[in-house]
Amino acid sequence: MLIKLDKNTVTNAVIDGQFNSENDCPRYAISMGAELVYKSKTVLLLANGERKTKSVTESLLNEPTPDVPISYGQIYSEKGGNLIYILDKIAGRELLANKIKLEQKGIKIEIRNS
């Protein structure tokens, strides 16, 4: 599905360093809704930077909620889906700080240095 990117998304793409200016940023993108994504056998989530730390952490430590759409990945995993997060140290730091809680929930953490 082709969607028009909102102002916030365009601004964040520049802030995150993906584009030099808002003029360089695309205004449309191809998007898949969560319903379609969760029909796959494996979902790969990539996140980096400070802006993603809170949502990544809440998505695994708290109960699923529409306020954090990726948190529904917990239900997807419970139904047999394979959900893999690939995070930089900043986005994943709170997960690392809560490693014991995550392991108690059956969530495996692997740390790989590149």
Which helix (H) or strand (E) is 52 found in, with range? helix 50-61
The confidence score (pLDDT) of residue 25 equals 96
Does the pLDDT of residue 111 top 90, yes or no? no
What is the rounded distance in angstroms from the CA atom of residue 60 to the CA atom of residue 103?
11
Does the pLDDT of residue 113 top 90, yes or no? no
Quote the percentage of the chain above a pLDDT of 70: 99
Residues 53-75 have a mean pLDDT of 95
Examine the domain organization and report whether 52 and 18 are in the same domain.
no
Examine the domain organization and report whether 67 and 109 are in the same domain.
yes
Task: Give the residue numbers spanning the domain of 58.
Answer: 40-114
Examine the domain organization and report whether 86 and 106 are in the same domain.
yes
Examine the domain organization and report whether 71 and 90 are in the same domain.
yes
> Which candidate, 64, 62, 86, places its Cα nearest to that of 75?
64
Examine the domain organization and report whether 99 and 47 are in the same domain.
yes
Residues 62-82 have a mean pLDDT of 94
Number of domains in the chain: 2
pTM: 0.79
